Structure 1
Amino acid sequence: MIIVKLKKDKEKKIKNGYLWIFKDEIFEITGEKKDGEICNVFSSNFEFIGKGIFSKSSNITVKILSLNDEDINEDFFYKKFFKALKIRTNFGNSYRFFHAEADGIPGLIIDKYEKFLVVQFRNKGVENKKSEILSALIRVFKEDIKGIYERSDFETSSQENLDRNTGLLYGENPPDRFIIEEEGIKYIVDIKNGQKTGFFFDQRKNRVYIRQFSKDAIGLDAYSYTGGFALNMAKYGAKKVVAVDKDEYALELLKENAKLNGVEIETVYDDVEHYLDNTEYQFNLMMLDPPSLIKKKTERLKGVQIFKKISELGIKKLDNYGILSLCSCAYQADISLLIEALRRSVENEGIMLQSLDIITQSNDHPWILQIPESLYLKCFWVRVIK
């Protein structure tokens, strides 16, 4: 057993709900230092603080699982899963079922697609507990699921020597493609080969929000993936919708999604910046939802420059009074960074950016006030007045 003793007063934040312990907050570590092992954490006065996942390879040395002295076993996971299911009653049959720290287990992501679960094990601790996690999931869902599939082939900078497994873990193999429905729109999903686990459930609120601006619009869905925003624009009355992405396979699924929903969408395989530089279209509704661009606090200045350039190009192609949404899916690219990027994108242009709304991730991706890092998705909606 690994024992972690904290420096003086470093237990206070844990008791208040912030569950990460950094290297420089630790006084002493005893026991064999192995990535993914369960450790006991004590204060400087030897008060028991909690149990967590130990990582010698990360600046975040411990991620707390429980403030109680309890076994981290199948029953522990069952209780976490039961609680997660209880607060997800209004999302239909497809949604994020478990969202890592925000649901109490760092590094564990589980998405539900109709009768199938797709799981990611994102640290060595949850990877080590895979069998207990699977048993607990089967207990919670019983006959409500047909199969559990693993998609742990994500990109990471972790040095924990994680397995990059994909494949069936339990029950039936999911079909290569199947259809889910979200807020009245159908999507073809490929959970085996698509990005992340196949679909971006976190943008649900923004996909609904864009509908109010869609009637008679000429809309652009930039970084479109399989067309979540494009489909909503087209379904809710847009005159023309263009979707741009560099993922050819995603664009093929987008075309199938358009047929499935009885709408027309022009798809363009291109780099978004190159497209905006060269298109002759003028839009009055635009979604800019780039992939995660910055990972570290030290990259914030670079992030402002990147978002500024994207916004500048987009605003040039927007009509007067057009609606623009700029999204960030990185914690470090926060609201203040988006505001700065947008403000600087229209410097000396005599353009006013009127704030309409700031919308965060869907409620099946909860964020915890005591864990700022759990708020990662922000979309800033503005009206561009030229």
Structure 2
Amino acid sequence: MIDVVLKKGKEKAALQKHPWIFSGAIEKVKGKPANGEVVKVYAADKSFLAYGYYNDQSRVAVRLLEWEEEQLIDQQWYHKKIKTALAARAHLLNEDTNTCRLVFSEADFLPGLIIDKYADFLSLQILSAGMENIKADLIAILKEELSPKGIFDKSDASARTHENLEAAQGLLWGENPPEFIEVKENGLRYHINIADGQKSGFYCDQRDNREILAAYTKDKEVLDCFCYSGGFTLNALKQQARHVTSVDSSALAIETLKHNLSLNGFAEDSQTSFQSDVNKQLRAFKEEGKIFDVIVLDPPKYAPSRSALDRAARAYKDLNRLGMLLLKSGGILATYSCSGAVDLETFKQIIAWAALDAGKEVQIIKQFHQPEDHPVRISFPEGEYLKGLLLRVL
């Protein structure tokens, strides 16, 4: 196994179990490891630090896996890690919920591996060269542990380019998933399109937050922005919202939402869909004089990196300002950011700027987080990407 030696003083993060070694921290590499090969990482004093995946194409040159030198990184090691991750989620799956995230990358000590369960199918995102190299082993483990009908590769994320990997999508094993897989989450039924849907097919990271917000929607006029397949819309209707207006720019999202409304037996006149750019539609609503009791703003990732933070802050501020202007006095705004580069305190500051521009007083009444199947390792705070605020706008 090839050795990677760090520069003097660069071992602190690894000793604290942070899983990333940046290229600038490396003093020398003894040999030429292939991208994704497991290497041994040493401090400058030659003391062992950890095993990890090496990749000279990535700014994160080593993704650490294991800190115990006597451990072998073999199929048995991967099997144990996956079994541990599955066991931690077992209580989340029941007759009312048959979808969740089974493996969450660094949070489960499996950097670059994301596995989502959709009823009897699995959707994989492989985002590191190390995980790409052991794809066959992963499939064998998942077949043994879960006996799925099919395993689908949804590794089309832009993150793969940082590992010098091409996008990949298609059936890995078993049956091809149907165009729409039916899943249940919190007693609601959804049609999921793995192949053509966003991310791995569904946003299970908002499972808890959808239920929390729904408690505020009974008899209310609700606006669900970036609605995708209708998670917030359906939960609001389940709690007897008077009417929900749903907006998304994706034709597939709106089509899927219509399927889901029918699937759950909600009356057609209880909901209206707009396939439109959200900011454009919010301005149109303002010109029409429309107002709402509850608004949901759940945009895509505006800041994929810290270099995009200033631009993202402006986008979040403008979006939230528009939302505030469409609320009745005392109305509820649920606003989210899935940008890891935007921490909660920064997000609060952006909301404060939006409130100032909108001429509104705002109270924070709850804070939203990602659910427990998206855990955050205490040694890897970067894994906490989803945050949100429940606001009363006065």
Alignment of 1:87-166 (within 5 A): 87-92=88-93, 93-141=98-146, 143=147, 145-156=148-159, 158-166=161-169
Cα displacement string for residues 114-169 of structure 1 (whole angstroms, at most 9, x for unaligned residues): 1111111111111011111112222222x4x2221111122237343313222221
Question: What is the distance in 2 between the residues matched to 1:88 and 1:138?
Answer: 17
Question: What is the distance in 2 between the residues matched to 1:3 and 1:379?
Answer: 42
How far is 1:32 from its partner?
0.8
Q: Does 1:77 align with 2:86?
A: no
How far is 1:247 from its partner?
0.4
Question: What is the distance in 2 between the residues matched to 1:342 and 1:60?
Answer: 32
How far is 1:33 from its partner?
4.4
Alignment of 1:201-216 (within 5 A): 201-216=204-219
Secondary structure of the residue aligned to 2:159 is coil
Alignment of 1:303-318 (within 5 A): 303-318=312-327
Counterpart amino acid of 2:180? R
Match in the other structure for 1:59 = 59
**Which residue of the other structure, out of 162, 172, 175, is the alignment partner of 2:175?**
172
Match in the other structure for 2:14 = 14
Question: What is the distance in 2 between the residues matched to 1:238 and 1:190?
Answer: 26
Question: What is the distance in 2 between the residues matched to 1:317 and 1:109?
Answer: 37
Root-mean-square deviation (Å) = 1.5
Question: What is the distance in 1 between the residues matched to 2:200 and 2:392?
Answer: 33
Q: Does 1:274 align with 2:283?
A: no
Q: Does 1:86 align with 2:91?
A: no
Structure 1 window deviating more from structure 2 (197-206 vs 161-170): it is 161-170
Match in the other structure for 1:319 = 328
Q: Which runs of 5+ in 2 are unaligned?
A: none
Alignment of 1:161-200 (within 5 A): 161-200=164-203
Cα displacement string for residues 39-64 of structure 1 (whole angstroms, at most 9, x for unaligned residues): 11011111111110111112111110
Counterpart amino acid of 1:84? A
How far is 1:337 from its partner?
2.0
Cα displacement string for residues 203-248 of structure 1 (whole angstroms, at most 9, x for unaligned residues): 1111111111010111111011111101111121111101101100
Counterpart amino acid of 1:301? D
Question: What is the distance in 1 between the residues matched to 2:322 and 2:78?
Answer: 47
Question: What is the distance in 2 between the residues matched to 1:48 and 1:82?
Answer: 27
Question: What is the distance in 1 between the residues matched to 2:260 and 2:86?
Answer: 29
Structure 1 window deviating more from structure 2 (173-182 vs 223-232): it is 173-182
How far is 1:2 from its partner?
3.0
TM-score, scaled to structure 1: 0.96
How far is 1:293 from its partner?
0.5
Question: What is the distance in 1 between the residues matched to 2:160 and 2:84?
Answer: 31
**Which residue of the other structure, out of 324, 335, 342, is the alignment partner of 1:333?**
342
Cα displacement string for residues 164-185 of structure 1 (whole angstroms, at most 9, x for unaligned residues): 2222212222222121111111
Query: Kindly tell me: are residues 150 and 216 of structure 1, through their superposed partners in 2, closer, same or farther at Cα, counting changes over 3 Å?
Result: same
Question: What is the distance in 1 between the residues matched to 2:9 and 2:19?
Answer: 14
Q: Say if 2:116 and 2:122, in contact at 8 Å, map to a contact too.
A: yes
Percent identity (aligned)? 35
Counterpart amino acid of 2:66? S
Secondary structure of the residue aligned to 1:83 is helix
Question: What is the distance in 2 between the residues matched to 1:241 and 1:378?
Answer: 23
Question: What is the distance in 1 between the residues matched to 2:338 and 2:345?
Answer: 14
Extract structure 1 runs of 4+ deviating beyond 3 A: none
TM-score, scaled to structure 2: 0.94
How far is 1:34 from its partner?
3.1
Cα displacement string for residues 338-385 of structure 1 (whole angstroms, at most 9, x for unaligned residues): 111111112265521101111111111111121011000001111001
Q: Does 1:346 align with 2:351?
A: no
Question: What is the distance in 2 between the residues matched to 1:363 and 1:193?
Answer: 26
Counterpart amino acid of 1:277? R
Q: Say if 2:128 and 2:160, in contact at 8 Å, map to a contact too.
A: no
Secondary structure of the residue aligned to 1:347 is helix
**Which residue of the other structure, out of 234, 249, 252, is the alignment partner of 1:249?**
252
Q: Say if 1:290 and 1:328, in contact at 8 Å, map to a contact too.
A: yes
Q: Say if 1:78 and 1:140, in contact at 8 Å, map to a contact too.
A: no
Question: What is the distance in 1 between the residues matched to 2:189 and 2:160?
Answer: 34
Structure 1 window deviating more from structure 2 (51-60 vs 349-358): it is 349-358
Q: Say if 1:289 and 1:326, in contact at 8 Å, map to a contact too.
A: yes
